[in-house]
């Protein structure tokens, strides 16, 4: 948003790509689709803000500045103030992977899908009991959820909504951002989004978001191309914690409770690094990085 490189992107992006390649090998699915991201400025003011950051080495490694009118593709007329071509981006099809994973773990009967409630938990000096069974740990990887046991977490969560549209007349080869994102989404479809709302924090799709996104999208379409049918509208809450970084580690008073949260609006980029870092800490005793250690953020 402010033209800064994403937190530790040089370390996190290769880790994420390595993880998705491994998941592709394991599942036989195609999950990663690399695409450049074309971010067009919305105003001259935005272009000037970019010019102040463009020389920053961390940002330079991933970007190339675009002149007005450059790289518009089928959205002719969209690049009014110039923009940035961002390398290293893409789309990871986590929906398909989750469906595959769910099926494979159910086959092995090693998963139960139930609502977890704190009332069902009895903490012991070591380990815990849950619904009459003994466990070593509970991992709280529950996204935006309020727990009494973690009531001090510094939430800055934000609701967001997106739409998937049928767009047979629009063949995009890049991901576009001008205010909203437009993401090529399989054959003859695009996904547009996303809104940012801080209240209410629920998962309910709204008419207001749908109309707002469609209006923004229409403004980016060249004359003669109309928006297609809405196939899907979805809403969710981004689990953002203060600092905009993952927050990991054991509860300061109950070491059998483990947190893996704060993936914010960048779970696809951050989760592979965060989970590996957490597991190395728990299983091999490697110290947690102070920037993500929940114990340092009370
Ligand atoms: C509109 C929108 C657009 C986004 N766009 C992007 C994007 O382009 N790129 C990107 O990287 N990220 C994006 N994100 C963010 C991304 O979705 C999150 O970073 C990611 O989902 C966080 O993963 P998580 O597993 O920590 O939490 P979640 O995905 O929220 O998963 C938590 C899970 O825990 C379950 N759970 C919670 N409480 C309980 C309970 N009591 N019992 C049982 N289960 C429970 C929930 O049902 C859920 O399935 C977007 C988010 C939104 C809302």
Cα of 94 from ligand 1 centre, angstroms: 11
Nearest atom, ligand 1, residue 117 CA: 41
Q: In what order do the strands lie in the sheet with 247-250?
A: 138-140, 257-261, 247-250
Atom of ligand 1 nearest to the CA of 266: 11
63: which strand partners?
86
- Residue 144 CA: nearest ligand 1 atom is 30
How many whole angstroms from 239 Cα to the centroid of ligand 1?
Answer: 7
* Contact predicate 291/172, CB 8 Å: no
Contact 256, 282 (CB under 8 A): no
Tens of pLDDT, residues 150-203: 999 999 999 999 999 999 989 999 999 999 999 999 889 999 999 999 999 999
- Cross-strand pairs, 237: 159
**CA–CA gap between residue 72 and residue 69 (Å, rounded):** 6
Distance (Å) from CA 187 to ligand 1 centroid: 25
Share of the chain above pLDDT 90, in %: 88
Distance, CA of 8 to CA of 246 (rounded, Å)? 12
Nearest to 158 by CA among 186, 200, 129: 200
- Give the Å distances, CA to CA, from 186 to 17, 25, 88, 151, 269: 20, 21, 19, 41, 21
Q: How confident is the model at residue 280 (pLDDT cuts 50, 70, 90)?
A: very high
Pocket-forming residues, ligand 1, beta carbon under 6 Å: 115-116, 141-143, 145, 160-162, 193-194, 236-239, 261, 263-269
pLDDT tens digits, 98-135: 999 999 987 777 888 899 999 999 999 999 999 999 99
Distance 238 CA to ligand 1 centre (A): 6
Which residue of 265, 270, 272, 294 sits with most ligand 1 atoms within 8 Å of its CB, as the best mutation to test the pocket?
265
The rounded Å distance from CA 65 to ligand 1 centre is 32
Q: Which domains does the chain have, with CATH numbers?
A: 9-94 (no CATH), 120-155+242-297 (3.50.50.60), 158-238 (3.30.9.10)
Question: pLDDT tens digits for 192-246?
Answer: 999 999 999 999 999 999 999 999 999 999 888 888 999 999 999 999 999 999 9
């Amino acid at each position: 948003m402010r033209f800064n490189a994403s937190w530790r992107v040089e370390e996190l992006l290769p880790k994420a790509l390595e993880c998705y390649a491994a998941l592709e090998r394991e599942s036989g699915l195609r999950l990663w689709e690399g695409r450049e991201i074309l971010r067009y400025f919305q105003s001259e003011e935005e272009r000037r803000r970019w010019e102040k950051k463009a020389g920053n080495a961390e940002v330079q490694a991933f970007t190339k500045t675009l002149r007005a009118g450059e790289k518009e593709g089928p959205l002719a007329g969209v690049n009014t103030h110039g923009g940035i071509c961002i390398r290293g981006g893409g789309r990871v099809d986590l929906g398909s992977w989750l469906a595959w994973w769910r099926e494979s773990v159910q086959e092995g009967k090693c998963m139960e899908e139930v609502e977890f409630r704190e009332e069902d938990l009895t903490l012991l000096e070591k380990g815990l009991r849950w619904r009459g069974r003994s466990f070593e740990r509970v991992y709280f990887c529950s996204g935006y959820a309020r727990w009494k046991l973690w009531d001090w977490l510094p939430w800055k969560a934000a609701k967001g909504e997106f739409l998937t549209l049928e767009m047979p007349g629009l063949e995009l080869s890049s991901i576009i951002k001008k205010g909203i994102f437009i993401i090529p989404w399989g054959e003859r479809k695009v996904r547009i989004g996303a809104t940012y709302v801080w209240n209410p924090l629920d998962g309910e799709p709204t008419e207001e978001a749908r109309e707002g996104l469609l209006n923004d999208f229409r403004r980016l379409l060249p004359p003669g191309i109309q928006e297609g049918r809405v196939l899907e509208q979805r809403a969710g809450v981004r689990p953002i914690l203060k600092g905009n970084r993952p927050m990991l580690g054991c509860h300061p008073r109950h070491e059998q409770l483990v947190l893996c949260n704060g993936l914010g609006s960048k779970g696809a980029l951050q989760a592979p690094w965060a989970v590996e870092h957490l597991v190395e800490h728990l299983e091999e005793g490697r110290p947690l990085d102070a920037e993500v250690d929940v114990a340092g953020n009370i």
